[in-house]
Amino acid sequence: MAVSYYQLNRSTTSIPSTAAAATYTDGFYGVPGTLEFLIWRLEVTAASTVDVTTSMAALVSQFKLVVDGSILYDWSAGFAPDAGSTQTGNWNYFLQSIGGRSYQVPSADGAGAKEVYMAIPVGINLQGVSTPRFEITYGFYDANLVLGASATISSGASTFWARFNQATQRSTRVVSSTSFQHTAGQTEQVVVRIPQMPGYVLDSILIQNDSAADQFGSSGLRILSLSQFSMPIDLHRWASNELGNRFMTMNPTATTDSESAQTYKNKTPGVLTVPLYGLAAGDLVLMVDSDATTTRFYTPVLTSVLGGQKMPVPRQTVMAPGNTQQAMAQPTEVN
């Protein structure tokens, strides 16, 4: 069962800016194989007064992945990080919640060189496609929100790598969010639309507020297919193991020791992941108690079985199964 890596594309212009928010589209051709992860390496060289408070991944405002005309990811952040925030960041949080990885190379708070690796679970069989076409649209918030108000960016790069793995077991799809305008003091029914995707099941749903605050009422949240009762928000965070410091980010503000710059969070206000345990795909109905008039965004994550095909390459003796469904469900297990 072979694992291999391939550099797909590198751009020195599709990087965050300290002048304003920015959006880019990178289109390029790939190579055949069973794509387990799309790995995004983001490098930035900052100058002037740098004061980093969280991962650079917190700057990602949107990410849309299209391969050969099929939309695999259509993700948008509910809100921008507050200036100087130490929170995980929505994209950083999301990747770690679905079995991906988002790790920034530790550095001191004032260091100029920043580098983060974001592994995006895909699970697609590109066998038999001689030149698969990738179209990736992604956006960044103003980089000063994370780098510090006086920082500038002198250079950087966005590089996309492919990790091919014949032992990949699941395909992952992130479909467009359903938005809902909530009324303060009301428990309201939210119907999250799920497109017809034969073979796919619902493994989790990402719920984002439009600000870095939960703003749920005392009755919390009920998913009708998950419970007969409304569940407190912290019970949902327990179920997903978020309360167990599941998500990692950067906060090197108080130290010059780059090795101690990584930190873990037991909650990210305004963002919530609810595991759905392979629920049969169909419109998802929730009862949501809101204590503020606000807009929330409900993003479904679906997976399906994928059978990786063998390739005539030297045989490796250790299998590294790629299973995003297991990655989402395993943290919920109680030992």
My answer on whether 42 and 154 are in the same domain is yes
My answer on whether 183 and 247 are in the same domain is yes
In a domain, 187, yes or no: yes
Boundary-marking domain end, from 135, 170, 205: 170
What is the pLDDT, as a whole number, of residue 268? 92
Residues 6+ positions from 184 with CB-CB distance below 8 Å: 290, 291, 292, 293
What is the pLDDT, as a whole number, of residue 258? 64
pLDDT (mean) for 84-106? 93
DSSP 105-155: PP--TT-SEEEEEEEEEEEEE-TT-SS-EEEEEEEE--THHHH-TTEEEEE
The region of weakest confidence among 20-29, 48-57, 264-273, 308-317 is: 308-317
My answer on whether 37 and 146 are in the same domain is yes
In a domain, 280, yes or no: yes
In the chain, the percentage of residues whose pLDDT exceeds 70 is 90
My answer on whether 54 and 165 are in the same domain is yes
What is the pLDDT, as a whole number, of residue 47? 87
pLDDT (mean) for 66-94? 94
In a domain, 106, yes or no: yes
In a domain, 317, yes or no: no
* pLDDT at position 314 over 60: no
My answer on whether 195 and 122 are in the same domain is no
Q: What is the pLDDT of residues 237-283, one digit of tens each?
A: 999 999 999 998 887 755 556 666 788 899 999 999 999 999 998 99
* pLDDT at position 309 over 50: no
Boundary-marking domain end, from 143, 170, 197: 170
In a domain, 92, yes or no: yes
My answer on whether 154 and 217 are in the same domain is no
In a domain, 30, yes or no: yes
Domain holding 189, by residue range, is: 178-302
Structural domain total, the chain: 2
What is the pLDDT, as a whole number, of residue 215? 97
What is the C-alpha separation between 64 and 301, in angstroms, rounded? 14
My answer on whether 163 and 252 are in the same domain is no
In a domain, 321, yes or no: no
Please state the φ and ψ torsions of residue 240, each to the nearest 5 degrees.
-90, 0
Pairing of strands 170-174, 101-104: unpaired
Secondary element (H or E) of residue 258: none
My answer on whether 140 and 242 are in the same domain is no
Residue 37 corresponds to which amino acid? Answer: F
* pLDDT at position 91 over 90: yes
My answer on whether 77 and 224 are in the same domain is no
What is the pLDDT, as a whole number, of residue 312? 43
My answer on whether 183 and 296 are in the same domain is yes
Rounded mean pLDDT of the chain? 90
What is the pLDDT, as a whole number, of residue 307? 65
* pLDDT at position 25 over 50: yes
**Tell me, what CATH number does 88's domain have?**
2.70.9
What is the pLDDT, as a whole number, of residue 293? 98
Tell me how crowded residue 219 is: count the other CB atoms within 10 A of its CB. Answer: 17
What is the pLDDT, as a whole number, of residue 311? 40
My answer on whether 152 and 273 are in the same domain is no
Output the six-digit token pair for 99.
Answer: 């079995």
* pLDDT at position 84 over 80: yes
* pLDDT at position 1 over 60: no
Q: What is the pLDDT of residues 131-190, one digit of tens each?
A: 999 999 999 999 999 998 999 999 999 999 999 999 999 999 999 999 999 999 999 999
Q: What is the pLDDT of residues 200-215, one digit of tens each?
A: 999 999 999 999 999 9
Tell me if 44 sits within 8 A of 16, measured CB to CB. yes
In a domain, 329, yes or no: no
What is the pLDDT, as a whole number, of residue 86? 86
What is the pLDDT, as a whole number, of residue 195? 93
Boundary-marking domain end, from 170, 197, 219: 170
My answer on whether 209 and 295 are in the same domain is yes
In the chain, the percentage of residues whose pLDDT exceeds 90 is 73
Residue 224 corresponds to which amino acid? Answer: L
pLDDT (mean) for 69-89? 93
Please state the φ and ψ torsions of residue 268, each to the nearest 5 degrees.
-130, 100
Q: What is the pLDDT of residues 44-74, one digit of tens each?
A: 999 888 888 889 999 999 999 999 999 999 9
* pLDDT at position 85 over 50: yes
Per-residue b or e along 179-212, where b marks 16 or more CB atoms closer than 10 Å to that residue's CB: ebebeeeebeebebebeeeeebbbbbbbbbbbbb
